[in-house]
Amino acid sequence: MNSKIGPIAVFDSGYGGLTVLEKLREKLPEYDFIYLGDNARTPYGTRSFDVVYEYTLEAVKKLFSMGVHLIVLACNTASAKALRTIQQKDLPNIDNSKRVLGVIRPSAEAVSEYTQTNKVGVLGTVGTVQSFSYPMELTKQSDSIQTYQEACPMWVPLVENGEAHSEGADYFIQKNISQLLSQEKGIDTIILGCTHYPLLIDKINKYMPKKCTVLSQGDIVSDSLVDYLKRHPEMDQKCSKNASVSFYTTENTEKFKQTAGYFLKEDIEVKHIQLSVSSDQ
């Protein structure tokens, strides 16, 4: 489909991007959105650069073929490992009038406005932490910012498996927060560098010292997209505006509906989508 106007797509490896979609719908209520979760192949956080790039590019191509002009990679791991190559190498070959945006730069910009001590903590997946994308982006904001990272490999599986509110979640959340803070006592601002983590916010707040400001990406990314659309009226004109949202998953639709229902608190229609042969296995 090569329509002149189309919905804005929000892509994530699983359910985490729903936290970004929710805020986008609040701030841009008249726009149409497509949500695509690659739930069949989640998590991305433990996968190699090549695999995350390959999966993300498949999703980007599929969304473009559905009439989308603008994609937000809500997934930090995909933003860290695939965004730059897709923007620089693939987009010029696919269609240079289309755009793919990520979440790491807007998050780094926002964090730098909050920290007083210039000591910033990042909680993220193994992939995001190992990519060093946050330290690099934060240094671009200011040379004096020091970044301390902690990978939380169990947090995404807790969300994906519906264990976000379980006692088991307490153990891993307390452990990773205390490991991050033990790296540097002066950390005063912490970015939840994974879209799944706001779904654990009650427990994160339970173990986070009051002196630390915790920033989730929903508000940051939605503010940044509002600003982007103002600065790019040519893209804004390509975004359809009927206040609709459609959900797609590479997994079983009933499973998606059930788990997404915990977070969305609304009844949704979900369609299955195939990105590659392996996503149907």
* Contacts to ligand DGL by CB under 6 A: 12-14, 16, 42-45, 75-77, 125, 128, 156, 194-196
Taking residue 141's Cβ as centre, other Cβ atoms within 10 Å add up to 17
Q: How far apart are CA 143 and CA 161, in angstroms?
A: 40
Between 108 and 156, CB nearer to ligand DGL: 156
To which residue do tokens 């699983």 refer? 14
Between 41 and 238, CB nearer to ligand DGL: 41
For the bound state, the minimum distance from the C-beta of residue 124 to ligand DGL, rounded and expressed in Å, comes to: 6
Cα dihedral 101, 15, 273, 48 sign: positive
Residues 6+ apart with CB under 8 A from 252: 272
CA count, 13 A, side-chain hemisphere, 10:
27
Between 240 and 249, CB nearer to ligand DGL: 249
For the bound state, the minimum distance from the C-beta of residue 218 to ligand DGL, rounded and expressed in Å, comes to: 12
Active-site annotation holds for 194: yes
For the bound state, the minimum distance from the C-beta of residue 56 to ligand DGL, rounded and expressed in Å, comes to: 11
Between 42 and 240, CB nearer to ligand DGL: 42
Active-site annotation holds for 75: yes
Taking residue 239's Cβ as centre, other Cβ atoms within 10 Å add up to 19
Q: Which residue minimizes CB distance to ligand DGL?
A: 45
Q: How far apart are CA 245 and CA 7, in angstroms?
A: 8
For the bound state, the minimum distance from the C-beta of residue 199 to ligand DGL, rounded and expressed in Å, comes to: 10
Catalytic residue ranges: 75, 194
